[in-house]
Structure formats: C-alpha cells, structure tokens
Amino acid sequence: MNNDYLLLTPGPLSTSNTVKEAMLKDWCTWDDDYNLDIVQAIRSELCSLATSSPEYTVTLMQGSGTSSVESAIGTLIPNGGKLLVINNGAYGARILEIAQYLNIACSALNYSETQLPEVKDVEAALRSDPTITHVAMVHCETTTGILNPAKEISAVVNKHKKVMILDAMSSFGGIPFDIADWQIDVLISSANKCIQGVPGFGFVIAKKSLMHTAKGNARSLSLDLYAQWQTMEQHHGKWRFTSPTHVVRAFAQALTELKLEGGITARYQRYQKNQSLLVEGMQALGFKALLPKELQSPIITSFYSPSSPDYDFKRFYQKLKSLGFVIYPGKVSNADCFRIGNIGEVTPQDITNLLEAVTKAKYW
C-alpha cells in the first residue's frame, strides 16, 4: 500500500498504512455496523485535544477545510455583524473573500506575507470601529510557513468583547495550545492536516454559547453550521447529509495513532525536528529559507529558488518526484520560492533521505 513518493506538502499529506487500511471497507450511513458512536467519540476527542474547558462543542462538516471556514463565517456572524480579517497570506485573503461572497460587512488589516500582524494595529482597529463584532485570522499561514501571534491577538479581541475566530487548519494537532487559555471562541481545522487523516471533512470547535445563538444566521443550506450541530447533538452524531464514511473511519484511526505517538506535544516535537533538519540540510546545500527562524512554524518552510539561470522548478520537482518526494510550488507574491512540508507520516529519516535526493536533483 506504499505510495511511490512521500508528500512533503501542507495537506493532503502522507498517511500511515493503517489509516489507509481503515478505508478498505464500505459502510452504510444508516447501519449499526457503521456505528455512529464513532462520530461522537471523534467529537469528544477533538474537544479534549483543544481544551479541558467544558464551554466548547465540536461540529464536523463535509467538504474541504475551506468549507468549514465558510460554514463558520456564514453561520456564526449574524446579520448586522462585521468581520475584521487579519491578513498576511493567501488563506487570510480567502477568509476576506468568503465574507465578501456572503455579503458580510468586513474590513481588513493587511500585511505582507513575511510580516507578523501587530497587536497594536488590532487594538487600534477595534478602538476606531465599534461596529466590528468578529475578528478572524490564520494561525499558521502556509503561504510562507509563518506562525502568527494568535494568543496575543486573541487577548486583545477578548478585551474588546469581540468574537475571535482562528483558522488553525495547519496547526491544530501539530502545535500544542489550549483554546480556552488563548481565549479563542471559534477554531477551525481539517481532517487531512496534523491529525494525519485524509481529505473529506473539516471541523469547527466553538463555544456552546455562540452555537446556541446562531440559529437562522446561515447564508447556505449545506453549510449551515448550526443545523449540522443540532443534528449531531440530537441524533447521536448523525450527519445532515451523506456522511463521508470512509474518511470518518480513517480519521478515527488517525486519532488513535496520535494518542499512541504521545499526543500533540510528541507530534510537535517530531515536526520541529523534521523542520530543523530540513533547514540545516538545505542551507548546507546552498538554499536560503524565506523566513527568519523566529517567524517560522514547524509545519512548512519556504525556500528561495536558486538564482542560477539553469534552475527550473518543474524539472527540479519532477526529478525529486522520481526519487520519491513531492514538494510544493511557492505562493509568495513578491519572491520566487518553493515550499517543503514536514507534517504527516514523515520522520527525521525521511528528511535525511530527502536531502540526499535534493543533492542528486540539484544540477545547476
């Protein structure tokens, strides 16, 4: 069941054989063999991973991670609400685009893709515009790999009694934090990131108090987060529409494997080791990381493309792929880069093997 290559991407990512094996059986959504207890167990486990506070509840939502972001934005912001988006990358920009599509009043604090958002700017924006009701930002912007100061910004948002929405798509499960301690009201992530499942659903972890007041807000039928939550609450984990059965089973296995690894802290340590080895090895081969170490997350790293006229990303990519590794093109608007992820079923030995492959693929 092994792939021909390892995915060194921000997700979907390489999964274990046992996660893949969990999808080898077909399941009927209505049959006891599928066992809706598994959905309730997943919801409970996700809550436990996020916080020990009983204030929160979990809703699973079919589709991509963006579907879950859109369901949260479109359901938890009422008519008359206004969203402030803190944006320093493609995924912050996507939140802004979602709000615009849904005709939700919004404003933005825009930064360059290599710049950390400033707490003082958020403070100033909230003081100057009392109509803002919600604030959204991305924790780990995989545009570059930058890790944004979510805890500090959440504290300011909470001080002003606004709702803090954190897109933790690429950080939850791979970076330890407690959402209650960080004063985050809503967290959004996906099955196919640091939990190391496969694509097919995302999830929203939100304060119960917010969910209880969200009825009738949704701008979409299928992305009505409140209706999905109510169905799962009242019908023992039932999905409103077709359950992604294979993905659910794979995710349950992935949660078991996270626990066996030692939890989020142990996984974070592995990701950190992967990332440190990667940067040290790439620098030894003449590559330069886009971000300074203090801004870098352990999730994915951007490297400047070589300045040699003989360098061509497509050739480099194809050569690495033939040697067993798939990397990612760059997404930075003002720098020629490529990206290498180190989340998923990836070990330090895999990174060492990658560096040997880069040595072979480097012919400029």
pLDDT digits (tens, 9 = 90+) for 95-145: 999 999 999 999 999 999 999 999 999 999 999 999 999 999 999 999 999
Dump the DSSP string for 173-228: TTS---TTTTT-SEEEEETTSTT---SSEEEEEEEHHHHHT-TT--S-STT-HHHH
pLDDT, residue 28, reads 85
Whole-Å CA distances, 123 to 43, 111, 133, 153, 181: 34, 15, 13, 9, 20
pLDDT at residue 10 in the model: 87
Amino acid identity of residue 106, one-letter, is: C
3-state SS class at 287? coil
Q: Among residues 358, 192, 165, 202, which one has the least CA distance to residue 280? A: 358
Which residues belong to the annotated binding site?
339
pLDDT band at 333 (very low <50, low <70, confident <90, very high): confident
Residue 36 has a pLDDT of 73
Q: Which pLDDT belongs to residue 174?
A: 97
Band (pLDDT 50/70/90 cuts) for residue 4 is confident
Computed over every residue of the chain, the mean pLDDT equals 95
Question: How confident is the model over 170-187, as a mean pLDDT?
Answer: 98
Residue 171 sits at the vertex; the CA angle it makes with 166 and 249, to the nearest 5 degrees, is 105
Query: Do 290 and 334 touch, CB atoms closer than 8 A?
Result: no
Give the model's pLDDT for residue 96: 98
Round to whole Å and give the CA distance between 167 and 150: 10
| pLDDT one-digit tens code per residue, 120-133 | 999 999 999 999 99
From residue 2, alpha-carbon distances to 16, 151, 154, 275, 347 in Å are 9, 39, 42, 23, 15
Give 334's pLDDT tier (boundaries 50, 70, 90).
confident
What pLDDT, on the 0 to 100 scale, is given for residue 2?
Answer: 58
Q: Is residue 59 scored above 60 in pLDDT?
A: yes
Cα maximum dimension of the chain: 62
The CATH class given to the 26-260 domain equals alpha beta
User: pLDDT exceeding 70 applies to what percent of the chain?
Assistant: 99
| Burial grade of 7 (CB within 10 A; 0-12, 13-18, 19 or more) | buried
8 Å CB contact between 361 and 316: yes
Mean pLDDT of 273-290: 97
Judged against a pLDDT cut of 60, whether residue 223 lies above it is answered with: yes
Is the pLDDT confidence value at 94 over 90?
Answer: yes
Taking only the tens place, the pLDDT of each residue in 21-30 is: 999 999 888 7
Cα–Cα distance between 81 and 106 in angstroms, integer? Answer: 9
Query: Average of pLDDT values for 159-175?
Result: 98
Share of the chain above pLDDT 90, in %: 92
Q: b/e string for 99-114 if b means 16 or more Cβ within 10 A?
A: beebebebbbbebebb
| Cβ neighbours, 10 Å, residue 336 | 12
Whether the CA torsion 189, 195, 196, 199 is positive or negative: it is negative
348 has a pLDDT exceeding 70: yes
- According to CATH, the topology of domain 263-361 is Aspartate Aminotransferase, domain 1 (3.90.1150)
Residue 34's pLDDT band, with cuts at 50, 70 and 90, is confident
pLDDT by residue (tens digit) across 244-270?
Answer: 999 999 999 999 999 999 999 999 999
Model confidence at 19: pLDDT above 70: yes
List the chain domain ranges.
26-260, 263-361
Tell me: pLDDT of 68 over 60: yes
Mean pLDDT across the stretch 176-204? Answer: 98
Q: Give the annotated binding-site residues for substrate.
A: 339
